[in-house]
Amino acid sequence: MAKSAAGAANITGSTPMSRIFSGVQPTGNLHLGNYLGAIRNFVALQAEYECIYCVVDLHAITVWQDPAELRAQTREVTAAFLAAGIDPKTSIIFNQSQVSAHAELAWLFNCVARLGWLNRMTQFKEKSGKNREAASVGLYVYPNLMAADIMAYKATHVPVGEDQRQHLELTRDIAQKFNNDTGKEVFPIVEPLIFGAATRVMSLRDGSKKMSKSEPSDFSRINITDGPELIAQKIRKARTDSAPVPGPEALTADGLQIAEAHQTERPEAFNLLAIYAALSHQPIAAPLNEFGGSQFSDFKRRLAELAVENLGPIGTEMQRLMADPAYVDSVLADGAARADAQAAPVLAEAKEAIGLLST
């Protein structure tokens, strides 16, 4: 399984020395998009690679978080990592604020990244909205902190959903400029790992918006912790159109993707089909062949069963883990010590390259 996942990820020219890093924000409502775009891939990669997975609490506070909620959500994302199958012994699981190298290296990168680069970041534009003047400075330099997360471990590959591609390009630019400016090859040039049939899961209510933690309507997403009844109800109510389920005629000539014209015309239908393909570990063509021409009600019933089969055990295990915060905290403490041991020498090397005196 891991082999095929890594194969699908197409880690070209990788060696067992490739190192994986990724992060998830503790901002509530972990959903099917987080699972299919990121967390499930984290699990698959750990069989072959050294993996470091981080609960990025310093990223979360770039917008206001209630302190009690932030604590609870940090434990909840940790529980989701564990429940999904990340092994805290072979991989490292920790929370960002416990390893000071992240914030320190982010400052160095604040002095490398250019205003013009950050001004192009579409996520900042979306998150700051119309009232840009009122956004925190942290939200603006968020991508520099993300680059620091990855570079503190000299990670080579980063599994993420499609929405993070631009931030990883910025990480490459920062690493390159740092190396050029100092004349030292301190940082590697990272590769994104964006793989699976659902790298951009869309809202169940509106196929033009991505499924998101912050969307007010809970019916726009399937949360990892939703029970079977609620999952079935949300899928039943998911927006579609009145035509039958599209079939293989919607595929591109190579049979690997949905042709753009079809995708644009029926985004909600193809979103559900992509979710089905991802959950059943099949290419997108499979559900089109199987359900093309039938009624959405039949397809939705099967999709709900599949979602419950996949998410049910994870939700149950998360509940069990969240009832034991001492255990969850011990996983984070152990992970932080191991992460710190790796990040500290990298930070020292970066400081030395710049000319900062060290002790």
C-alpha distances out from residue 43 to 50, 54, 88, 163, 237, Å: 11, 13, 11, 20, 30
Torsion of CA 104, 39, 154, 167, to 10 degrees: -70
> Which residue's entry shows tokens 């990244």?
113
Residue 127 a catalytic site member? yes
Q: What angle in degrees, to the nearest 10, is found between the helix axes of 228-237 and 296-322?
A: 140
When the beta carbons of 6 and 56 are compared against ligand TRP, the nearer one is 56
Q: How far apart are CA 84 and CA 143, in angstroms?
A: 27
Phi, psi of 94 (to 5 degrees): -155, 170
Q: How far apart are CA 261 and CA 238, in angstroms?
A: 22
Q: Does 190 bind ligand TRP (CB under 6 A)?
A: no
Active-site option among 125, 130, 184, 213:
213
Active-site option among 154, 210, 234, 300:
210
Give the distance from CA 259 to its chain's centroid.
26
Q: How far apart are CA 4 and CA 9, in angstroms?
A: 8
**Which of 18, 34, 78, 95 contacts ligand AMP by CB under 6 A?**
34
Yes or no: say if 198 and 275 are a contact pair by the CB < 8 Å rule: yes
**Which of 5, 18, 20, 25 contacts ligand TRP by CB under 6 A?**
25
Which residues, numbered 164-183, are part of the site for ligand AMP (CB under 6 A)? 164
Of 302, 219, 292, nearest in space to 262 by CA: 292
CB count in 10 Å sphere of residue 282: 14
Segment near ligand AMP (CB under 6 A); pick from 63-71, 139-147, 205-213, 274-282: 205-213
Q: Helix (H, G, I), strand (E, B), or coil: what is residue 232?
A: helix
Yes or no: say if 59 and 146 are a contact pair by the CB < 8 Å rule: yes
Which residues, numbered 209-238, are part of the site for ligand AMP (CB under 6 A)? 210-211, 213
- Shortest Cβ 25–ligand AMP spacing (Å): 4
- Shortest Cβ 3–ligand AMP spacing (Å): 22
Residue 141 binding partner per list ligand TRP, ligand AMP, none, with a CB distance cut-off of 5 to 8 Å that depends on partner kind: none
- Shortest Cβ 201–ligand AMP spacing (Å): 4
**Which of 21, 109, 140, 296 contacts ligand TRP by CB under 6 A?**
21
**Count of residues of this chain found to bind ligand TRP when the rule CB under 6 A is applied:** 13
Residue 156 binding partner per list ligand TRP, ligand AMP, none, with a CB distance cut-off of 5 to 8 Å that depends on partner kind: none
Q: Does 59 bind ligand TRP (CB under 6 A)?
A: yes
Residue 89 a catalytic site member? no
Q: Does 143 bind ligand AMP (CB under 6 A)?
A: no
Q: Does 190 bind ligand AMP (CB under 6 A)?
A: no
Q: How far apart are CA 297 and CA 287, in angstroms?
A: 14
Output DSSP code: residue 38. Answer: I
Helix (H) or strand (E) holding 19: strand 19-24
Q: How far apart are CA 84 and CA 87, in angstroms?
A: 9
When the beta carbons of 213 and 301 are compared against ligand AMP, the nearer one is 213
**Which of 160, 275, 307, 350 contacts ligand AMP by CB under 6 A?**
160
CB count in 10 Å sphere of residue 348: 14
When the beta carbons of 281 and 301 are compared against ligand AMP, the nearer one is 281
Segment near ligand TRP (CB under 6 A); pick from 19-27, 108-116, 198-206, 350-358: 19-27
- Shortest Cβ 348–ligand TRP spacing (Å): 21
Residue 21 binding partner per list ligand AMP, ligand TRP, none, with a CB distance cut-off of 5 to 8 Å that depends on partner kind: ligand TRP
CB count in 10 Å sphere of residue 181: 12
Residue 184 a catalytic site member? no
Q: Does 207 bind ligand AMP (CB under 6 A)?
A: no
- Point out the residues that are catalytic: 127, 210, 213
Catalog residues that contact ligand TRP under the rule CB under 6 A: 21-23, 25, 56, 59, 146, 149-150, 158, 160, 164, 167
